[in-house]
Each structure stands twice: as structure tokens, then as C-alpha cells.
């Protein structure tokens, strides 16, 4: 059934640049202007979030674009309050577009008397009136089951595959994909299959959280251009140590493709001083000035894939079609022509 209303976008303050880029992309796809809904998302003096929408949204198909990145609690509250504002303004349907889903690393109880915060956040999102979630590279795919509403989880690997084929087109035979730990093998294997490259694993053993005691390479990386694939880069300690281990094992050079660049603490300084030839991040989290200025960090845009996913949801067509190379390549043809 064709949609009777127009898709309308509204954004919090987490990643306004990405929201504006998605709106521009949707304008190109539709051949008519798509703009962010005029709204105020501000703080009172005591840091309470206040939202006011200046346009009529009654019966409209609303998409809230808001990553729950640092400061995670503030951005999460913005998302919830924007949703409540739209629900009380009689919006027809509310979809949360969350490029980076915060709290995803707390998806299970790792020891006694600890929370499952990802489930709590899922409950809060549902109770706020959100009827659908669109996100990318959830840290644990089972988080989709924490929601009692539909969840579309996009993957960065098709976008990364396009980027790798473009930047390594003259030496694809020398490329090897690396999983930085055993838990990330499925993610690394997905990219390796897409670019038809071999796979190796860096086995890491932690003595306690935040510290890596020992790393060993499983596989022969001699003379290879190694590409480390992961979903989150936080302090970059593990990533930079993995690059050192790979170079010590005979790799020709080391690159990394990470979906969500949290980049907290000394991350930028570590990457800049490391043996990584390049670190490729998506813009699921707004880049800080330090990240943008780093000489060996590059940003890949997500606006094309999110814009098309929003249009597919609005039009009632397949979102999973965006997992395929043939569907995605035309969206990025201006970038990888």
C-alpha cells in the first residue's frame, strides 16, 4: 500500500550534521526538498531537556535521528523526550533512527549483581511511544530481541567493502581481513567474503577490563595489507596493540575499519602515534575536532544508506535489500566512482 503521508525528519543534538546529510540525500532520491522539522531541543539551567516542535506533525510519519553517544544519558533523554513530544502532538508513527545505540555493550550479566542496561534502554524507548527502531551494527545482534517493536539493524560491512575495493583496487590480492578477537570473527568474515580476502584472528586475553594481557596472531600475515574490522573503537588501546602485533608478525601495513568511533580519552593520540596507516570510521558518532584533524583517520558517510533505509521504511519496502552490494553501490557512486 503506498504511503499517504510524507516522511518527516527531526533531530536531537547528538549528530545534527548527519541528520542534515540524511535530509539532503532524501531530497536527491525523492526529487523534492526534505528538511528537518523546525524544533527546539534545549536545556534548562539545571540541565533538564526541553523540546518544542514548531510545525504540525499530526498524522505524520516521523523519524527521529539521534545517536545515543557521549554524553549518552543526555542524548538518550533527548530521544525519549522528542518521542513523547511527537506522541502528544498526534504523530502518526514514530521511528527512532539510532546510528549508534549506546549501552549496547551492557547486553548481558557478566558477573553477579550487574544490570542488563541494554534491555532497560529498550524498555524506555518502547514506553516513550517509539514504534520502530533503525540502527547500525549493534554490538550484540540479540539486542534486537530486547525490543517488543520492529528493529532494523543495518550493517557497515557493505559500505566498508565498497571503500576497500576503491582504495585497495590495485592490491586486493594482498589484503587480509583481521578480527581483533574471537568474538568478532563473524563480523570480519562478512567483510572478508564481500571482498574475497583471507581471514586471520588476533587472540587477546584480558586479565581485567580495559587491559589486554597478551595477544597472538592466528594465521600467516606475512607481507599482507591487514585490515582490522570491529564495531566500536573506544580508547583504541586494543586496536593499537593489535596493529603492533600484526606488524611484528610480518604484516606489510595495517589499516582498521571501525563502525562506531567512540574515541574517548587518549584514543586520538594513540591512533596518531600508532603503526596504523589508516583508521576508517563512519559518522554514526559526530567526529570531534581532534578526530577530524587526525592525519591517519578518515570518515565514511552513512547518510546514503540511512536515507534509503528511511525511504524504504516509509514506503513499506525491504530494508534488508541494503545488505546487498548491487543495491548499495548506486547510493555511493559519487564517492566511489
> In this structure, which CATH number among 3.50.50.60, 3.60.21.10, 3.30.428.10, 3.40.50.2020 belongs to the domain 7-155+303-331?
3.40.50.2020
Residue 174 has pLDDT above 50, yes or no: yes
Q: What is the mean pLDDT of the chain?
A: 93
Residue 5 has pLDDT above 80, yes or no: no
Query: Residues annotated in the binding site for D-ribose 5-phosphate, as ranges?
Result: 206, 230, 234-238
d(CA 225, CA 1): 48
**39 vs 17, 55, 201, 303, CA distance in Å?**
15, 8, 47, 21
Residue 2 has pLDDT above 60, yes or no: no
Residue 171 has pLDDT above 70, yes or no: yes
Determine phi and psi for 232, rounding to 5 degrees. Answer: -135, 135
Determine phi and psi for 32, rounding to 5 degrees. Answer: -145, 155
Q: Could you give the percent of the chain with pLDDT greater than 90?
A: 84
Beta-sheet strand order (sheet of 214-218)? 214-218, 199-205, 175-179, 225-233, 253-261, 276-282, 297-300
The third-level CATH classification (topology) of the domain covering 157-300 is: Rossmann fold (3.40.50)
pLDDT of residue 4: 53
pLDDT of residue 207: 59
Query: Residues annotated in the binding site, as ranges?
Result: 46-48, 105-106, 139, 181, 206, 230, 234-238
Query: Residues annotated in the binding site for Mg(2+), as ranges?
Result: 139, 181
Question: Is 204 labeled as catalytic in the residue annotation?
Answer: yes
Contact 152, 308 (CB under 8 A): no
Catalytic residue among 8, 17, 193, 204: 204
Residue 148 has pLDDT above 60, yes or no: yes
Q: What angle do CA 192, 144, 279 make, to 5 degrees?
A: 40
Torsion 144-145-148-150 (CA) sign: positive
pLDDT of residue 181: 87
Of 91, 89, 78, 77, the closest CA to residue 131 belongs to 91
Q: Which of 92-101, 121-130, 212-221 has the lowest mean pLDDT?
A: 212-221
pLDDT of residue 197: 96
Does the pTM of the predicted model rise above 0.85? Answer: yes
pLDDT of residue 26: 94
Reported confidence tier of residue 333, pLDDT bands at 50, 70, 90: confident
pLDDT of residue 334: 84
Higher pLDDT, 261 or 29: 261
Q: Do domains 7-155+303-331 and 157-300 have the same CATH topology?
A: yes
Which sequence spans correspond to the domains of the chain? 7-155+303-331, 157-300
Residue 286 has pLDDT above 80, yes or no: yes
Residue 187 has pLDDT above 90, yes or no: yes
d(CA 328, CA 25): 14
Residue 130 has pLDDT above 60, yes or no: yes
pLDDT of residue 1: 40
pLDDT of residue 203: 86
Q: Could you give the percent of the chain with pLDDT greater than 70?
A: 96
Q: Which of 82-91, 179-188, 306-315 has the lowest mean pLDDT?
A: 179-188
Amino acid at each position: 500500500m503506498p504511503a499517504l503521508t510524507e516522511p518527516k525528519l527531526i533531530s536531537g543534538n547528538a549528530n545534527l550534521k548527519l541528520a542534515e546529510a540524511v535530509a539532503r540525500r532524501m531530497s536527491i532520491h525523492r526529487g523534492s526538498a526534505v528538511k528537518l522539522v523546525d524544533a527546539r531541543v534545549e536545556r534548562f539551567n539545571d540541565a533538564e531537556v526541553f523540546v518544542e516542535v514548531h510545525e504540525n506533525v499530526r498524522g505524520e510519519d516521523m523519524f527521529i535521528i539521534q545517536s545515543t553517544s557521549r554524553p549518552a544519558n543526555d542524548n538518550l533523554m533527548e530521544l525519549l523526550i522528542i518521542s513523547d513530544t511527537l506522541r502528544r502532538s498526534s504523530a502518526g508513527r514514530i521511528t527512532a533512527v539510532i546510528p549508534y545505540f549506546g549501552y549496547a555493550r551492557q547486553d548481558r550479566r557478566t558477573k553477579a549483581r550487574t544490570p542488563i542496561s541494554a534491555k532497560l534502554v529498550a524498555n524506555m524507548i518502547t514506553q516513550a511511544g517509539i514504534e520502530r527502531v533503525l540502527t547500525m551494527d549493534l554490538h550484540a545482534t540479540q539486542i534486537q530481541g530486547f525490543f517488543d517493536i520492529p528493529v532494523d539493524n543495518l550493517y557497515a560491512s557493505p559500505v566498508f567493502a565498497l571503500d576497500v575495493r576503491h582504495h585497495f583496487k590495485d592490491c586486493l590480492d594482498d589484503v587480509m581481513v583481521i578480527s581483533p578477537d574471537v568474538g568478532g570473527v563473524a563480523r570480519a568474515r562478512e567483510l572478508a567474503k564481500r571482498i574475497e580476502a583471507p581471514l586471520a584472528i588476533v587472540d587477546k586475553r584480558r586479565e581485567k577490563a580495559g587491559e589486554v594481557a597478551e595477544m597472538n596472531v592466528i594465521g600467516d600475515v606475512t607481507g599482507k595489507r591487514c585490515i582490522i574490522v570491529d564495531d566500536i573503537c573506544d580508547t583504541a588501546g586494543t586496536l593499537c596493540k593489535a596493529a603492533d602485533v600484526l606488524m611484528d608478525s610480518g604484516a606489510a601495513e595495517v589499516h582498521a575499519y571501525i563502525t562506531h568511533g567512540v574515541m574517548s580519552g587518549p584514543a586520538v593520540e594513540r591512533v596518531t602515534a600508532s603503526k596504523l596507516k589508516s583508521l576508517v570510521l563512519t559518522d554514526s558518532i559526530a567526529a570531534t575536532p581532534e578526530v577530524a584533524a587526525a592525519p591517519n583517520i578518515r570518515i565514511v558517510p552513512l547518510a546514503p544508506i540511512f536515507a534509503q533505509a528511511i525511504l524504504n521504511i516509509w514506503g513499506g519496502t525491504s530494508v534488508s535489500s541494503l545488505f546487498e552490494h548491487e543495491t548499495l553501490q548506486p547510493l555511493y557512486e559519487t564517492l566511489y566512482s
